[in-house]
Every structure is written in structure tokens, then in C-alpha cells.
Structure 1
Amino acid sequence: MSKELLDIKDLVVEFPSRHGDVTAAKDVNLTVAAGEILGVVGESGAGKSTIGNAVVGLLERPGRVGGGEVFLEGEQIIGKSQAELRKIRGKRVGMIFQDPLTSLNPLETIASQLMGTIQTHLDLSDEDARARAIDLLDQVGIPDPSVRVDHYPHQFSGGMRQRVVIALALCAEPDVILADEPTTALDVSIQAQILDLLKKLVREKGVGMIIITHDMGVIAEVADRVAVMYRGVVVETGPTAKILGNPDHPYSRSLISAVPRPDVRLHRFPVVESIESAGECKELDLNTHWLGKARDFGKSDGPLLEVKNLDMVFKSGGMLGGGKSEVRAVDNVSFDIRDGECFGIVGESGSGKSTIARLVTSIYKVAGGSINFAGTDLTKIKKRRELNVHRRQMQMIFQDPFSSVNSRMKVRDIIAEPIRFHKLTSSEAETRQIVDDLLDHVGLGAKAAVKFPHEFSGGQRQRISIARALATRPRFLICDEPTSALDVSIQAQILNLLKDLQEELGLTMMFISHDLPVIRQMCDRVGVMSKGKMVEIADTEELFKAPQHDYSKHLISLMPSYSGLMDRDAGQAEAS
């Protein structure tokens, strides 16, 4: 029998408040053996990440362990001092956090951060520590690691930052790894590499691993056992094949039924209604609702958005005698998006997908080419006031819900900010009513308006971002990985919401995602990007059934089959 590395017994985690204690995790029992991967799944806010943080003493105040025990190789670690826990973190327990931006110091190079962790736990010289840092970056799939090791976090894409975080977790060769959404920001090709790396680490070095994720494809690929959490309670635990193939608990069945199908396009995402929903989106009459009013955009003659020969170059270096270098993030890209369609963009992390979104919204200045929106070339507009007229018509849902909202503002003010900026209402009372309605519509409820972002889970924060993006009644919505932080059940609700909004409001959308099953369900046409170039554009079903470019074929070959999931009745949703 494998050696038991981590044993969690009857763990209780509480968050005291003025209204009494909130129990985030109740009587949780989990074990991880050497050479084993345990998957923990459940909705955002179910308590998955809370358990991981409690194990290593990283609960945010006023959170506390209210009961139970945690044994690391037989040693009780609950109740240890922070000094003792710091010796455990990194050396004996490695951690891969959900949000790479908050895991990395923006003021230090990747070399400095990796070498600091390595030398804290391993007796290595600067030269050997640097060599190990470069090797770790190479292991997690970062190109030119000897060059990139001296770059800063902001010079990496979201997926590349996540790879750096994984490298940090591997620095000191820990016995147990807690991986909180380790592949959230990764495209399918890099996800496959990372999962292979994690599996190899577990099998060859006898590491025990807990993977906290909402991605059932990841669970099917790597987990030996699965624990399903619902509102702080583990409702079911068992072998992966049993849980994914024939779960006993109705909540487990609801999660699995909501996984996007990779094999056929459906009109709507299945949402199981037998389980009480913690975030059901409220149906609104958009003929009378503010979202549907005063949208007087005429039909475009030709494409709504036309991008021609777009170029973008990032320059770095040149300070204090350092050499200059250039990275061509977007290379002669051309495409168009028709009025009312959903155009998808897929490709590896660093391929230029998000850069295109930022160029279209004028966050970045183009190095070459043109961006024609509703008959106007945005690259020729010089006055900010004139540009703001067009910016009101296009809004963006960013990839990272943690950094895209101001943590010091209440939710009401976050959503009201674009309404106030563009002076869309005649009174503050009207603004407050609109915010409340938007919160209802994205499934958070009006009571969320008086809270701060830190009081919400990652998925709930993304819903706040979606509400804010809808606040100006946009014509064009850019979705940059809008569901990457959401579990599958909430993802289904949000994607159905976006489909409804597109249909009812006539929205045009650019949908950027590494999740190919989601792209298949959401998009009318798809553009495939590789190394800054758009290598193929095709109707969605044509692309998935008969891709033409070798890179497109490679991506689709890596799409998860979910062969271990339970059979689902496709008749529940109307095929489009």
C-alpha cells in the first residue's frame, strides 16, 4: 500500500463576521498517498481553495480553522507557528495558486523569484540556482528559457505566467503539491504538456498531489480519485472512473451534465435544475429593461469590425546599457467580424489573441495596419473624446477577474463607473437601479452591490466583470477567456446568458478562449492563431470536422474527449 503523505481529518474552516460565523468547510476528510493524484471539484465558493489554504496556514483573516486535524507524513501541522509553516511551504508542500498575477512579484525578474525560492530551501550557488531556474522554465514549456528568465511577469501572457508559477512550485522538490486550478489559463496544447509533467512528477518521484479544478477534462486525464464538494461539504469521494462515469450524488451528476460537449454543437448548454443554484441568472424582459433601451445602432454596411494587416511589436531592454529586443506579438493579421455574429479566436498562450483584443479596444497602439469599426478607422482617431464614443459601443470582459476589478471599490461603484463616465443616466437613483438589475441578471443579486470584491469567489468576481461590461449597453463585446475562472455549472449559466444577450440585443462578439469545446458551442466562425499569425479562418463546424492547417489539426487532436464521463442525453438540448 502506498505511503500516506497528507491526511485531513474532520477539518472545519470558519470566517467570523458581524452576523455570526460562516462555515466555509465542514467536517472535511481527505487523504493523499505517495504517487497519487486527488482531484477536488465543485462550484466556485464550494470551499475547495479554502481547504488548500487552511492546510498550509494561508487563510485570509479573519478566517480560522475551527476544528479538525491535518497530518503531513504523520506530523500534525494545524496549530504550528507561521515561522514553522514557512519552512514547510515550498520545501515539503509546493503550491500552485489559481491567480498567477498575485503569485508573482511584478518588481522582480523571474530569475530573482525562482532563485530566491530555490536558495531558500536548497543549498545551491547562484550559478547552480540560475541553471535550475532555467531548466524549470524549460520543463514547463516556456520558449527561450535562458532569455525569458530575466524578464518580468508583465512581459508574459496569462498562460505563460501560470507556467512560471508551476515552476516555482517545483523549485525545492516538495513531497506534496497543492495545485489550485493549475491549468486555468493554459491552452489545450500547453495544458497537455503541463498535465504530462505533473503526472510524471507524481509517478517518478512519489509526490502526492491535490488538484483543485472545475475542468472535468483535467480530472478525467490525471486524477486517480475524485472528491466532490458542495457548499463546504464533501458529498462524494471515489475512484475517478466511478465518480465521472456513474456518480451517486445528484450534485455530482449536475456538474458532469454541464460539461460542454466536444463532439456536437448544441443550441444551449445543459443546466440541471434539480440542484438548488447558488447563482441562477434572473430572466428579464429586455424589451422594457434598460439593457434593451436606447440602442439605436444602425445595421452596418459590410462587417462591423474589419482588421487589415495588423502589426504589434513589443520592445524591451535598452536601459542602463542593456541590449534592445523586439517581440512581434501580432504579425500581419487580417480578419472581419459580421454584425451579430460571434467570432472565436483560438491559439496557444502568447500567440497574440489577447493582444488583438487590446489593439481593437485601443488599449494598445498599433504598429501597423488598420482597425475599421462601424465604418470608422480607429487607428486614425487622435482625440480621446472622439475615441470614447466608439469605446462606449465596445466593452471587454478580461481573462483575470482578480486584477480586472478595483479591490478598494464596492461592487455597486465598480459596475456604475462606466455608466457615470459616459453620463448615461439622469440621476444616481437610476444608476443604482440599473446596477441592481445587472447584478440580478448575472446571478449575484442586488445585495451583492454593497460588498467588496474580496468577499466573492473567483467565479463570482467574473460575473461582476460581465455585469460591468454590459453597463454601457454595448454593441460589440470582447470576451477574453470569460469563463476560465468558472466551474462548469456556472460556466453553463454564463455562456447561456451571453448567448441570450447576443440574440436578444443583437450583440456582436469576439470570443477568445483556449477551451475548444466552448468555442465550438459559442462561435459562428473561428480564427486560429500561431506565433502572432492568423493561420486559418473557417466556419466553426468546418474547422472542427475538417481543419486545413497543420496547427489547427494539432490543436483539435488535443481536445479532451471526456471518455470517462457519464452518458448524457443530447436530446435535452436542441442541436443547432
Structure 2
Amino acid sequence: MLQVTNLTVKFPSRRGEFTAVENVDISVKPGEIHGLVGESGAGKSTIGAAIIGLLQSPGYVAQGEMSLHDTNLRTLTPAQAHAVRGARISMIFQDPQTSLNPLMRIEDQLIETMQAHEDISDADARDRAVALLSEIGIKNAAERIKAYPHQFSGGMRQRVVIALALCTNPELIIADEPTTALDVAVQSQVLDLIRALADERGIGFILITHDIGVIAQITDKVTVLRGGKVMETGETAKILREPEHPYTQALLAAVPRLDKKIDRFLVPATEADVEAPQIISGIDAEAWLLDGGVQDPIGLQAHDITVKFAGERTSLFRKPDSFTALDSVSLDVRAGTVMGLVGESGSGKSTMAKVLTGLVQPSAGTMTLGNDALPDAKSRARKDQSRRIIQMVFQDPYSSLNSRHRVGALLAEPLWLYGLENDAAKRRALCEAMLSLVGLAPDAIDKYPHQFSGGQRQRIAVARALLARPRFLICDEPTSALDVSIQAQVLNLLKDLQKTFGLTMLFISHNLAVVRQMSDDITVLQGGKVMESGGSEPFFTNPQADYSKNLLSLTPTL
């Protein structure tokens, strides 16, 4: 159905032409799912954009052939390309939030898409839209179709995006990281839907992802890319069982294992780029942290934490209903250990982290840090020691670092905020030493966040948290946005820091394979309630709660 031969894509710049994709061959049959896998910058999304005709200017197809059945995609006029795009080739983007117009109802967006490609009445288009939403698993489709995007969960929004891609009955759908931001339960539903559409409708799919587990679960063929070049291609089962190229072997070795716990992640050649920590300007960052008492483990206990949020006001005279985000949740994070906190989206994981850091006020419950009662959010002043002792590494390093400030200013903030170093020259030297400790060159201090990759930005976020001399570190999905090799590097870094400094950690993730490698204990949340809590290894070998068993069964593995 789709044949791509010798595809080369280049991007001109003042410094010459950058070759993003070089001599790539891909073929897709009707009903076949062809996976494209590789690290960030491998050219996966560029290939998809070239096929559908959405290459960002000034990028262009330098050479190669692309055909959809008998249609030569390279010789189409702009008008012809517009007719093919959407009608015969559709795309599912990574973030459903940006794919849907927040000001339009779902009904209007589906009808608009259909009418852009065919002559169909509003009534007929609406009937088809309702049937389509029902087909992809949205209950009460006739009522839900009138909702706005923000009234759906992340998984339901992704289903709506799939409905948009399907409403013109395309022959080929390009799915660009369609499950990256979804938890395992919702991810499994979306992947099952894609597999069913391929089998029942005969739609061909190109599935772009950095998740090897997803590739293993539903693709028929896979192409492994690196630096815009094909490393290996063939049937998925053969590639994953008997990889021939050293890069494919290294990529598979970096995937976290769900079946056993390992001491350290194996990382492809990029590990060589991370230099050993150095003593910068006479300052040893490791010694500075140890002098600050970070080596003294501290435990944290939370008892019967309840958090309620006000709902939407439906009447001027009626008090809005409340939503219970956490319902009598208790945690016991032992000193010097890692507690894994898992559950699907909306289970209350991030809300719990915000309660511990004083960002959310609980309506009930008590907390203890070490031997001292932890003040609640309203009475926890900025100078309270718990503000410094408990630090957090957020999920998205793009938004957790202020893009207008240089790295040096971002790192120095905890030092002057908590009065740890008042001399500006010493602050700078200490920041450089901390960058070296987390595997970055000291000259990174004068750059801006946008000049770094996602993995490097997350290292900067870790360095900033360490400069507060914390004893309790909360990591909220710290690697969910990173590809597999960069994820392995960051997880190795966190393992080393935890072991060296005896940090107590709360590790939040929906990736159970990652949690097994990182945690000593585990707590499972569902709907704001604790389903199971105890040792990590007993949980993975013999889970007690039905919900825990279901989560483990849904996790993609090799």
C-alpha cells in the first residue's frame, strides 16, 4: 500500500545543510502496523511528516520515492496533496491537547473534518460521528459528542483524536507517539484499538515511538533508526529476539525489565558522553553535600491524608460539589529507601507529592518528617526547614526550568533562597561543581535551558534540587518524556545519588518496569485510595490486590 524508497530529507541553514533522514526504505501493507523506533533525533517524526506532506520549512525531500498505491506522493500539486492529506492519509499526534480545538465541541470538530473532504450534510456527518465514537469505545456517544475537549480524560481525548483520523476512512494512519503521556491501563486500551482497526478495517499504520514495549506489543514490522539512518528492519518478533545490529542490541539492553531487578541499566554509546565528576574551582560538590547532612537518612510518614477539590458551580445559590482526590491515604517511606508510588492517571500520585511539598493543603491527616510533625501547607513558611529538606524533580524538564534565565541563575536560586551560600563567586563555583556531579560540563552554567536535550535538562533539574541539600527527594515521572537510552542514563544517575548520599526518595511513575528497578517498597493508588502497600519484590512476584494484578498484566514487556 505504501512504498517509501531511498528517502532523504534535508534542512538548509546558514551553516550548511543538515541531513535529518538519509536513504530510508519503508513499506506498509493494508492492515499492517509498521513501527519506527529510535532515540530522540533519529528522524522518526520527520519521516512521518514527509509522507503526509507536513515537513516544517525550510526542510525538503532531497531525494527518494513515496507512493500510496498508484499515487506518487512526490509529484502532487499543493491542492492534490491537501486532498490526499486527511482523506487517504491521516495522522495521530502525540499530545491530544494540542490536536483538538479547546473552543469547539467534539461534534463540531468531527463534522468539520468530514465536510472538508466530502459533500455530506450536517445530519449525516453527525450520525457517522456518533457511530465512530461508539466504535472506538466512548460510552453514551450521543451525549458525550456535545462535550468540549477539557471535559474528557487524557485517554478519552486520544480516542477522540483517533476518531478524527478515522472519520474520512483513510488507507494509512501515521501515529506519532500516541501513548507517551498515558498510563498503562489507558495505553493498553489505545493500543488494542489501533490493533483492532488494522485487523478489522485493513488500515495500515506507521507507529512512531521510543517505547520498545509498545513495539513488541502490537507491531508487525519494525525499523530501528539512529541519526536518520536505518540500523535494522524486519519482522518485529525476529528483530526483538535476534537483533543483529550492535545498536539494536544496546537499545534493547537499556529497556527496564519487569521480570527481574537489576543493579544498573546498560546504556548505548551515549553513556560515554557523560564525564566523571570533577572537582571544580577547588569545590567538591559531593563533600559539600555530605557536610550538609544529606547522608543522614530521614523517614517520612503520612497518616490518613485526605484532599478534596471544589467542583464546578452549577448554581449561584448552591455550594459546588467537591471531588475527593485523596481518601485517607497513608504512606510510610523508610529512611534511606525508595518508595515507588504507582497508579493510573487520576489516582492521586501527583496530588500526594504536592501535599508533601506544601503545594496542596489537605483537609485531613497528619505528616511526620523524621521525628518532627510536618506543618501543613498553610502554616509551612518559606523558611521552614522542611521546604529545603524535601525537594522535587518534576516530570517535564521543559516547563520546570525558566527558559528566560541562564542555567547558573536557576541553580543558584536554592543557595541564596535558603541562605546556604551568600558569596556570589562561591555560588557560581558550587553550581559548576554540581553540574559536573550530575554529568554535565561546567560551561553549561552560561547557557539557556533550550540549548540542552531533554535528558540534559532533567540532569539540570536534579542538580538544582541537590543544591538545596535535601534529605528527601520526590521524583514525579522524571523519565516519562525521555527515550529509552536517555531514561537509562537518568535512572543510573538517580540510583548513584541515592546510594552515595543515602537519600530517601518517593519515586512516582506509571511505568512499572522502571519502578521495579528503582524502589525498595511500593504503594499502589486507585481513585485516591491505597490498594496495596509493602515491599517492592513481593509486589512484583505475588501481588495481592486485583487492581495490582491488572496493572502488571497490562504493562508492555519484551
TM-score (norm 1): 0.83
Residue 574 of structure 1 is matched in structure 2 by none
Residue 571 of structure 1 is matched in structure 2 by none
The CA deviation at 1:199 is 0.6
Aligned Cα RMSD in Å? 3.7
- How do residues 344-423 of structure 1 correspond to structure 2 at under 5 angstroms? 344-374=340-370, 375-379=372-376, 381-382=378-379, 384-386=381-383, 389-407=385-403, 409=405, 415=411, 418=414, 422=418
Residue in structure 2 matching 1:180, options 157, 176, 181: 176
Residue 282 of structure 1 is matched in structure 2 by 275
Residues 297 and 457 of structure 1: CA distance in aligned 2, closer, same or farther (over 3 Å): closer
The whole-number CA distance in structure 1 between the counterparts of 2:80 and 2:427 is 50
Residue 572 of structure 1 is matched in structure 2 by none
Farther-moved stretch of structure 1 (357-366 vs 137-146): 137-146
Residue 227 of structure 1 is matched in structure 2 by 223
Residue 567 of structure 1 is matched in structure 2 by none
The whole-number CA distance in structure 1 between the counterparts of 2:434 and 2:356 is 25
Maintained 8 Å contact 2:476/2:509: yes
Residue 42 of structure 1 is matched in structure 2 by 38
The CA deviation at 1:346 is 1.4
The whole-number CA distance in structure 2 between the counterparts of 1:398 and 1:170 is 35
Farther-moved stretch of structure 1 (143-152 vs 216-225): 143-152
The CA deviation at 1:501 is 0.7
Residue 339 of structure 1 is matched in structure 2 by 335
Residue-by-residue CA offset, 1:183-210 (whole Å, 9 max, x unaligned): 2222222222211110111111121111
Farther-moved stretch of structure 1 (435-444 vs 316-325): 316-325
Residue in structure 2 matching 1:70, options 58, 66, 71: 66
Residue 517 of structure 1 is matched in structure 2 by 513
Residue 554 of structure 1 is matched in structure 2 by 550
Maintained 8 Å contact 1:160/1:349: no
The CA deviation at 1:35 is 1.1
Maintained 8 Å contact 2:11/2:17: yes
The CA deviation at 1:119 is 5.0
Maintained 8 Å contact 1:279/1:490: no
The whole-number CA distance in structure 2 between the counterparts of 1:59 and 1:222 is 27
Residue 25 of structure 1 is matched in structure 2 by 21
Residue 566 of structure 1 is matched in structure 2 by none
Q: Which amino acid aligns with 1:32?
A: V
Residue-by-residue CA offset, 1:317-366 (whole Å, 9 max, x unaligned): 53899995543322221212122211111112222222222332233333
Residues 466 and 314 of structure 1: CA distance in aligned 2, closer, same or farther (over 3 Å): farther
Residues 132 and 347 of structure 1: CA distance in aligned 2, closer, same or farther (over 3 Å): farther
The CA deviation at 1:240 is 1.0
Residues 395 and 81 of structure 1: CA distance in aligned 2, closer, same or farther (over 3 Å): farther
Q: Which amino acid aligns with 1:282?
A: E
Residue in structure 1 matching 2:523, options 527, 547, 554: 527
Maintained 8 Å contact 1:137/1:145: yes
Residue-by-residue CA offset, 1:499-551 (whole Å, 9 max, x unaligned): 11111122221111121111111111111111221111010111112211111
The whole-number CA distance in structure 1 between the counterparts of 2:468 and 2:153 is 28
Q: Which amino acid aligns with 2:522?
A: V
The whole-number CA distance in structure 2 between the counterparts of 1:38 and 1:468 is 41
The whole-number CA distance in structure 2 between the counterparts of 1:433 and 1:366 is 40
Residues 320 and 255 of structure 1: CA distance in aligned 2, closer, same or farther (over 3 Å): farther
Secondary structure of residue in 1 paired with 2:22: strand
- How do residues 276-355 of structure 1 correspond to structure 2 at under 5 angstroms? 276-277=269-270, 280-284=273-277, 288-289=284-285, 292=289, 294-296=291-293, 299=296, 303-318=299-314, 326-355=322-351
Maintained 8 Å contact 2:277/2:438: no
CA radius of gyration, larger in: 2
Maintained 8 Å contact 1:280/1:493: no
Secondary structure of residue in 1 paired with 2:292: coil
Maintained 8 Å contact 2:388/2:418: yes
Maintained 8 Å contact 2:297/2:336: no
What runs of 5+ residues in structure 1 fail to find an aligned partner?
Answer: 563-576
Q: Which amino acid aligns with 2:90?
A: G
Aligned residues: 553
The CA deviation at 1:418 is 5.0
Q: Which amino acid aligns with 1:238?
A: G
The CA deviation at 1:237 is 0.8
Residues 101 and 294 of structure 1: CA distance in aligned 2, closer, same or farther (over 3 Å): farther
What runs of 5+ residues in structure 2 fail to find an aligned partner?
Answer: none
Maintained 8 Å contact 2:294/2:470: no
TM-score (norm 2): 0.85
The whole-number CA distance in structure 1 between the counterparts of 2:272 and 2:155 is 28
The CA deviation at 1:220 is 1.2
The CA deviation at 1:112 is 5.6
Residue-by-residue CA offset, 1:112-137 (whole Å, 9 max, x unaligned): 65555455446666666667666666
Secondary structure of residue in 2 paired with 1:385: coil
Residue in structure 2 matching 1:266, options 257, 262, 265: 262
Q: Which amino acid aligns with 1:292?
A: L
Farther-moved stretch of structure 1 (224-233 vs 73-82): 73-82
